[in-house]
């Protein structure tokens, strides 16, 4: 399955590997937010480092992905996104993703950087 979720050290980690659809991400993401193991206020580490074709996603696709998180913005502390530096612009605080998500967003090159940023947002 290309999209998976887990809670690790109080952080909701959503991981995408390979090709994925917005519907699959929505289904897994909504399920993760509704799970009893997910804290009511939660930081999210969104790992897109293994996502295929991310650079070719349309702005509508990026906005739709942000809207998935926006549905839970009242519960989100912030979203750290792990991705290739070539797509950081898709996920900065001025991006359509951030606008739809409605919370602070930060793109990082590694899990360690993402977790460090999330610690600062708490």
* Closest alpha carbon to 12 in 109, 77, 104, 85: 77
pLDDT tens digits along 52-75: 989 898 999 999 999 999 999 999
Answer whether 61's CB lies under 8 Å from 51's CB. Answer: no
Average pLDDT of the segment spanning 67-92: 96
Please give the Cα distance from 73 to 53 (Å, whole number).
26
Question: 86 to each of 24, 76, 83, 108, how far by Cα in Å?
Answer: 24, 26, 8, 11
Structural domains present in the chain: 3-121 (3.30.750.24)
DSSP assignment of 13-46, as one string? EEEEEE---HHHHHHHHHHHHHSTTS-SSEEEEE
pLDDT tens digits along 23-58: 899 999 999 999 999 999 999 999 999 999 898 989
Residue 22 has pLDDT above 90, yes or no: no
């Amino acid at each position: 399955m290309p999209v998976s979720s887990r809670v690790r050290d109080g952080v909701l980690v959503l991981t995408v590997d390979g090709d994925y659809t917005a519907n699959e991400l929505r289904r897994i993401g909504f399920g993760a937010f509704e799970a009893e193991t997910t804290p009511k206020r939660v930081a999210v580490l969104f790992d897109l480092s293994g996502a295929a074709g991310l650079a070719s996603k349309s702005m509508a696709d990026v906005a739709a992905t942000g809207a998935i998180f926006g549905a839970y913005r009242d519960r989100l502390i912030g979203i750290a996104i792990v991705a290739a530096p070539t797509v950081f612009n898709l996920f900065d605080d001025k991006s359509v993703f951030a606008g739809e998500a409605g919370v602070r967003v930060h793109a990082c090159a590694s899990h360690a950087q993402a977790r460090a940023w999330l610690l600062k947002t708490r």
